[in-house]
């Protein structure tokens, strides 16, 4: 029997991850994120199960190693928040959920695109106040527009298929050659030709601030930018400048560079201290959701199945099929 500490635990996850999840796996839930301040909670644990904003840097991993934790199980796809080199050096295995319903995230992108375009969020509020004025709600047809997908893996490809179904011309840009239905181009050409740009590559040293001042300059005037991948793919300050100058016509975000201080909790009664975020959401053509792309019943079930399979494999000394390799 292994003891697992489940960090950043939310109420909606507990039905999927009960305390006695499998014969060999016992789970304790912690609402706190795992980081240098909360790592003291890990005494007596064999494994930790973490999410996107837990901080598994070298210091935290070293302290996990000291108390005997031998597995970090990410219940998400991205692993940019884990120092893989330190984990390997310390003999701590890292596994993740490499794939769970890419359609969940792709369909959320579509929700952002359609809401920004047809302003259904504003229309909803107007109609509730008996305001049936259409001024300010003018949208555009997706049909015939060019959509650029940056990173055409599982989620990018799912979105490309959806947008092709709307009659968009789809361009893709990926670090790897792509086989298949969509035209692959250099990032600079994608930026110059796309009406809608959606980011789907992982965050790494190579992709940090992939979209900055120079890239905004290359975009069409009034382009729409969507990011559901990781916040730091976009240089937020350069993005605010692009919104101010109206170079960027629409911005839809499900992720934000400094989201770990904000997302996944109710901060209604606190003072917003992040001035950059406050400025961002003050624009009428910006729509931000709090990292909910993954949040469908189907995706949660798949995340739970894969994570529990990994924990059980670890508990019974079997190889981990979902292990993160250092070169990923
Ligand atoms: P994937 O691994 O299937 O695809 C990523 C693609 O990006 C690959 O084709 C890869 O070659 C490409 N890529 C890598 N570096 C690149 C670069 N410099 N330029 C262009 N392309 C590059 O990953 P998947 O499953 O499609 O997920 C993508 C990202 O979405 C994850 O890394 C994660 O950060 C994010 N995500 C967000 C969720 C949310 O709830 N908002 C949920 C799940 C994932």
DSSP string, 5-35: EE-S--HHHHTTS-TT-BTTEEEEE-SSPPS
Q: What CA–CA distance (Å, rounded) separates 93 from 235?
A: 32
Residues 30, 172, single domain; the answer is: no
Residues 123, 266, single domain; the answer is: yes
Q: What CA–CA distance (Å, rounded) separates 133 from 22?
A: 56
CA 246 to chain CA centroid, nearest Å? 26
Of all protein residues, the one whose alpha carbon is nearest to atom 30 of ligand 1 is 229
Q: Which of 80, 200, 307 has most ligand 1 atoms within 8 Å of CB, for mutation?
A: 200
Q: What is the pLDDT of residue 180?
A: 79
Q: What is the pLDDT of residue 328?
A: 65
Q: Count up the domains in the chain and report the number.
A: 2
Residues 195, 272, single domain; the answer is: yes
Q: What is the pLDDT of residue 327?
A: 67
Whether 154 is covered by a domain: the verdict is yes
Q: What is the pLDDT of residue 168?
A: 98
**Cα of 31 to ligand 1 centre, how many Å?**
27
Q: How many residues does the chain have?
A: 328
Residues 114, 131, single domain; the answer is: yes
Structural domain boundaries, residue 256: 102-288
* 154-165 and 102-118 helices, crossing angle to 10°: 50
Whether 135 is covered by a domain: the verdict is yes
Residues of the chain with pLDDT under 50: none
Catalytic residues: 230, 259, 291
CATH of the domain at 106: 3.40.50.720
Give the predicted TM-score (pTM) of the model.
0.93
Q: What is the DSSP string of 126-150?
A: HHHTT----TT-----STT-EEEEE
């Amino acid at each position: 029997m292994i003891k697992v500490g489940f960090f950043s635990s939310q109420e909606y996850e507990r039905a999927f991850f009960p305390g006695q999840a499998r014969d060999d796996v016992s789970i304790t839930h912690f609402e706190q994120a795992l980081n240098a301040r909360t790592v003291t909670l890990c005494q007596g644990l064999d494994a930790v199960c973490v999410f996107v904003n837990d901080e598994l840097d070298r210091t935290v991993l070293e302290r996990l190693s000291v108390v005997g934790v031998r597995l970090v199980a990410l219940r998400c796809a991205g692993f940019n928040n884990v120092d893989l080199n330190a984990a390997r050096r310390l003999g701590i295995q890292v596994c993740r959920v490499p794939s769970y319903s890419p359609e969940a995230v792709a369909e959320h992108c579509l929700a952002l695109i359609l809401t920004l375009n047809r302003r259904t969020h504003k229309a909803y509020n107007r109609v509730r106040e008996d305001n049936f004025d259409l001024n300010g709600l003018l949208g555009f047809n997706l049909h015939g527009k060019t959509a650029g997908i940056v990173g055409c893996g599982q989620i990018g490809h799912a979105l490309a298929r959806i947008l092709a179904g709307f009659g968009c011309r789809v361009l893709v840009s990926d670090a790897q050659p792509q086989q298949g239905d969509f035209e692959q181009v250099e990032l600079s050409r994608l930026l110059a030709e796309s009406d809608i740009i959606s980011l789907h590559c992982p965050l790494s040293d190579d992709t940090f601030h992939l979209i900055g001042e120079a890239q905004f300059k290359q975009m069409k005037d009034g382009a729409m930018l969507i990011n559901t991948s990781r916040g730091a793919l976009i240089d937020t300050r350069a993005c605010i400048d692009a919104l101010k100058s109206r170079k960027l016509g629409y911005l839809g975000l499900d992720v934000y560079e400094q989201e770990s201080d904000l997302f996944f909790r109710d901060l209604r009664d606190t003072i917003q201290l992040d001035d950059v975020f406050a400025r961002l959401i003050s624009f009428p053509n910006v729509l931000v959701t709090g990292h909910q792309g993954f949040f469908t019943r189907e995706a949660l079930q798949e995340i739970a199945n894969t994570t529990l399979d990994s924990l059980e494999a670890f508990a019974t000394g079997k190889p981990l099929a979902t292990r993160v390799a250092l070169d990923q």
